Chain A
């Protein structure tokens, strides 16, 4: 296809046009990342009077710290929990909308709204709903004989943060699943029906395999979201507690650095997180850009 190309004679203009974006990238991404990298090799007292270069001591201490191991494990449970819950809920909703003829557009619009809610607001909302003193959900759970208290039960706390973090992500996944389902030719499902497959069989043998590229993409996106974008949710609900049970890596960076003022360790943790992001991004580009082939 021919596209019309405009040629500027001025050699400076392209750089001038790029400058704002480059400036933002440098000031808000590259410079802080560099600072974190530098800081991770330093040891500094809480008031910043004395700074000492300590090589890999921060990292060595970090990887030997049982609290950090705990945080890693909590992060794994949390992100897989968020990814699983938000994918399953979104898929069920998308399937329901796909079967709806009349009001599908209305449902779609309404179901996308939560995505516009800020994570902190979502966190507060769920904190209210699950509040052991004033929340409606513990009240109802109590009628079922369950004593909900995320302030001292680490299981309850984990469930709370998973639900709070998943809630808005469902909207995002839902949109992708609706588009994915719309892309599956209707005649395939009909052919399977004629071949004698019931609705469940059709879903697991035809629809779900054909959705697998979408599902894999969303899985990576959701894990990235759960690991890095959920600081506000944790901060608004459990603040990492009780007893470190919801202290995910991102939250620990904040706690150790800004509350504990252990800047070296906090910076080292940031660098580890950066490495994880890089790996996930590579996975995303390698496998998803190539698309899951069938």
Chain B
């Protein structure tokens, strides 16, 4: 299936990502689909650090980074500048940020840019915490996960809250929204293609495990990403013109325990906590199935 992607590599090797990091797969796929007529606006984060240690760079397309919370605003400026220069139609404009830069600190700038309707593809590579600064909790961190700011202590057992439902918040702005997973790159590529053709803002949230922050073996990144799909922890769906479609359903749902216990960040979980997570995953999944069946225009 992956053979269907262009052979040309525009994301150069030699970067300094951790072994087993999913983020380079995200960048590589974006550039394979986007091709040389792509401009990338990157938020501060692992991706920016490991790809651009001056004077080296992994980016064979124009790439700009300035701050943590402003990537969508920078892209707004690039979008309108290209329009002014008369080159807007030919260029795929990609905004790239981690979940911290997207869910939390960059949320205002993202919302503003979505509301203004800039044509760009915002890709959030979601590794469920602020990994670059040392595994601090973000709005995307799942409940009970052990992070450096939500340690699994004797009194408080990891993070106390469930994840912010950002794809739905983005969809409420009228954007094309999709979730993707590094274990299913063709699906991600299809969604990127769709977003580049969409005449408005798009948002793709890609599930991207982080061995360093999730405490799993570096050769298990794709396996864990697959399990996130099989357990319905991270479902694959699109919200297009306000209507939700589940792109792919696991033939048989695997218990969340199989996913959780492969990761050190969940090793402290009690049976009750695992049961609570299972219940939450089930109820989210049922909601998605119902929404799809209803064909309701949610937004």
Chain B associates with chain A = no
Where the two chains meet, the residues of B that have a C-beta atom closer than 8 Å to any C-beta of A are: none
Where the two chains meet, the residues of A that have a C-beta atom closer than 8 Å to any C-beta of B are: none
